[in-house]
Amino acid sequence: MFESKLNKDNSDWKNSFLFQKWEKKFLNSGCKISDINCLGSSTYGGSLKTLFLSVKFVTPENHFMERSILIRNESVVIIPFRFLGNQPRFLCVMQRRITDGNISIEFPAGAVDDFKSPREAAVLELYEETGLKLKQKKLISLKENLRLSESLVDEIVHWYGCDIAMCDNKNDYMDELKIGKKKYGNMGEGEHIKIEFITLEKLKKIKSFHMRIALSFINNELSISCDDK
Amino acid sequence: MFESKLNKDNSDWKNSFLFQKWEKKFLNSGCKISDINCLGSSTYGGSLKTLFLSVKFVTPENHFMERSILIRNESVVIIPFRFLGNQPRFLCVMQRRITDGNISIEFPAGAVDDFKSPREAAVLELYEETGLKLKQKKLISLKENLRLSESLVDEIVHWYGCDIAMCDNKNDYMDELKIGKKKYGNMGEGEHIKIEFITLEKLKKIKSFHMRIALSFINNELSISCDDK
């Protein structure tokens, strides 16, 4: 299962795909690294999941800077929706989260591992977290390459829509009471997920970057009307 | 200046304000912590800035989980705007960022330290990063307590608007060429910031959570028209 370790005394992390991908991108900017230290890391199933580094570098403008950064894989978010008459309903995942211990309401999401494309990861996460089976070509591209944070986390997020009417097993999602009783998630990762159809009004009350951005995609890219406020 | 250290062998971090604030909130949810390890941390000027922990816990539903979390202070973002005739202009800060080494375009932002309110921090950050002097009561509250991430970072962000016409030194911001030549930021923290007035059209091209959310506040809460597609 989950393991964590401190890499104070070895530099294995320098050979990781995760680090090298970030380093290549960073050096492309013209910045030069003068020193780098691993402040911590977490691994999952033997492979590196998160690297926490302190980096000293010189910018092309010749400024010396020192910053810490958390390096992670890219990730995907999928917004599954269907219409009940004229009313849109959104399929959300509910689970306990470490940030405050409460049950959060989010759209299905997950990391893109080293050997998958974002679209492959999106189809897999959607199935793992909601049971919905969707062919890759039927994913709706909303926005690729959206940066989660400028100053702390090196994570790029790809957003997709999923019209549940396009899913192979759409009929299993007609009975809202029935789906509410099932459990989803990757048990090996200790995920315990419940799913529920949520109205637009309820989504608007959730105070998170995740939901605020999802609503902007729902409103603009998916053109599902949100009369804001 | 910036220092970083690994806290593998001591548990000073358990006595920190940062940790205790998170722990209190987390335990309030009904979750019970069974084990906790510090994977790394960063400090600034002697005080803890970021804690990276691995936490084993049991949920009220009796599920065992193990997750890593990055604990940080709350933060603020301020959206300064003014009108040039009917056209809105937004004052952005530009600086090199560790995430990809490139110069990013963002709104002024920063951490709320232990002894300040979010509004106090907002007024200070605004001044430090742009030179704008605004009285606290003239900050426009957009949305308080917006969660940055559900799964990784314990950071709550408070968003404010700033009508530059309400600033004490608004006249210094009429000549756009002049402000572009000045430098801002906290030199002690190695900040090198340039500021620039940006159009709505240009803001829309920036692919970040930060800017996507800012645009949603500009459009909805500030009612500055964005004709999105």
Task: Provide the residue count of chain B.
Answer: 229
Its sign, for the CA torsion B56, B62, B63, B64, is positive
Nearest by CB: A213 against B39, B209, B228? B209
Contacts of B219 in chain A (CB under 8 A): 228
- Stretch B163-167: mean pLDDT: 97
Q: How confident is the model at residue B7 (pLDDT cuts 50, 70, 90)?
A: very low
Residues A6, B208: C-beta atoms closer than 8 Å: no
The pLDDT value recorded for residue A104 is 96
Per-residue confidence band for B10, with pLDDT thresholds at 50, 70 and 90 = low
Asked if residue A143 has pLDDT above 90, the reply is no
The rounded distance, in Å, linking the Cα atoms of B185 and B191 is 5
Task: Report the residue from B154, B190, B228 with minimal CB separation from A66.
Answer: B190
| Minimum-distance CB partner of A148 among B65, B209, B219 | B209
Domain range summary for chain B, segments of one domain joined by +: 2-72, 75-219
pLDDT per position as a tens digit, A175-228: 887 888 888 998 878 889 999 999 999 999 999 999 999 999 999 999 997 554
So what's the ipTM on this one?
0.91
Nearest-CA distance from B62 to chain A in Å?
11
Q: What is the mean pLDDT of residues B154-178?
A: 93
3-class state of residue B180 by DSSP = helix
User: Pick from B35, B25, B20: which is nearest to B67 by CA?
Assistant: B35
Between chains, do A192 and B59 touch, taking CB under 8 Å as contact?
yes
Q: Which residues of B touch A145 (CB under 8 A)?
A: 207
- The shortest C-alpha distance from B133 to chain A (Å) reads 24
Query: Which residues on B lie below 8 Å from A203 (Cβ)?
Result: none
A223 exposure class (CB count in 10 Å sphere: 0-12, 13-18, 19+):
exposed
For residue B94, report the phi and psi dihedrals to the nearest 5 degrees.
-125, 125
For A110, the token pair is 């997950």
Nearest to B229 among A149, A151, A220 (CB): A220
Residue with tokens 């909130």: B25
Q: pLDDT at residue A2 above 50?
A: no
- CB contact under 8 Å between B207 and A146, yes or no, is yes
- Superfamily the domain A75-219 falls into: Nucleoside Triphosphate Pyrophosphohydrolase (3.90.79.10)
Of A196, A100, A49, nearest to B29 by C-alpha is A100
- Ranges of beta strands (E only) in B59-86 are 64-72, 75-84
Q: What is the pLDDT of residues A19-58, one digit of tens each?
A: 999 999 999 999 999 999 998 888 877 788 899 999 999 9
Name every chain B residue with its beta carbon within 8 A of the beta carbon of A143.
Answer: 207, 212
What is the average pLDDT score of chain B? Answer: 90
